[in-house]
Amino acid sequence: MKNRSFLLVTPAIAVFSLLFVLPFIYFFLISLWKIKFFKLVRDFNLVNYEKAIFNYIEIFITTYSVSIPVAIITTVIGFYYSYLARFKTGKFGSLMIFIALITLFGGYLMKIYAWKTILGNEGIINSILIYFHIIKEPLSFLLYTKHGLVITFVHFLLPFSILPTYAAMRGVNEIELDSMKDLGAKFYHVHFMLFFQRCRTGVLASFVFCLLITSGDYITPYLIGGKITFIGNMIAPKFGQFFDWPGGSAMSFTMLVISISIILIVSFLFKLTDPK
């Protein structure tokens, strides 16, 4: 029986090893090498990590100054969207989830260009405001700024937040909530319990998805961020334009360590809310 179970899981392990673990190890190794005239040289050193940390610290700060708020905002909105779908809208709850998921079929780039159309100088928002004489000049802070980036990221990531939080809420019985209210629990008691304790896994999964996708993105900052540079914008040309795979790998692993650290800190903070 045990052997049979192992056999069944073997394909998954093989695929995971081949497509994730081995490339992971390879890129970690070359992050310790260097490049000379477009060729990799096996010269083990930590120079790439030193550069990744000290040369790009401001870009890491910019990246996480957007991706952490995006992860928090998206998770909170996703949580309350799921809450409405699970507990407040009855049979229309499934329709809400369907609507959220159907937006995934729209495609990533289409959403970016849609927001460019909405937020631009001659976009929908500015055109309406100017038409009704609310403003005279277009609001330029809407696009090519951090505001525009956050709006676009939140819209794109909402389905990734709603899915895990809604799945977690399905494990919560409505009777539990009614009992809490009958025993005098206030609105915030109920929501604190749901957010930090009963749905913790889903909420954390949502935060992790949003943080990792945002911090690793380089297309959205390029197209929506104007002159804002994310660390992904520096990593991508390392692998293509500059042919500096060691440098790009070291920057990627540095980003990974920072992201994992943030996730561990958030996870720890959640644990602090456990009842004593």
Site for other proteins, rule CB under 8 A: 37-39, 55-56, 58-59, 116, 120-123, 138, 140, 143-144, 222-223, 226-227, 229, 233-234, 237, 240-243
Torsion sign (Cα): 249, 250, 251, 253: positive
Q: Name the residue nearer to other proteins (CB basis): 160 or 245.
A: 245
Q: Which tokens belong to 109?
A: 């780039």
Based on CB atoms, which residue is closest to other proteins, 78 or 120? 120
Please give the Cα distance from 167 to 86 (Å, whole number). Answer: 9
CA gap 115, 117 in Å, rounded: 5
Which residues partner with 52 through β-bridges?
Answer: none
Contact 199/165 with Cβ under 8 angstroms? yes
CB of 98: closest distance to other proteins in angstroms? 32
Compute the least distance from the CB of residue 248 to other proteins, in Å: 12
In the complex, least distance from residue 37 CB atom to other proteins, rounded to whole angstroms: 7
Q: By C-beta, is 63 or 161 nearer to other proteins?
A: 63
Dihedral pair phi/psi, residue 69, rounded to 5°: -60, -40
With respect to other proteins, which residue has the nearer C-beta, 145 or 201? 145
**With respect to other proteins, which residue has the nearer C-beta, 159 or 225?**
225
State in angstroms the smallest separation of the CB of 243 from other proteins.
4
Residue 231 Cβ, how far from other proteins at the closest point, in Å? 10
Nearer to other proteins, 14 or 128 (CB): 128
Helix (H) or strand (E) holding 57: helix 57-83
Per residue, the 3-state secondary structure of 74-85, as one string, reads HHHHHHHHHHHH
Place of tokens 């937020």: 119
Q: Pick between residue 206 and residue 233 the one whose CB is nearest to other proteins.
A: 233
> Within 10 Å of residue 52's Cβ, how many Cβ atoms?
25
Q: How far is the CB of 62 from other proteins (least distance, A)?
A: 9
For residue 240, the SS3 value is coil
Helix H or strand E encompassing 36: strand 34-36
Read off the tokens for 229: 């540079």
Distance of closest approach, residue 222 Cβ to other proteins, in angstroms? 4
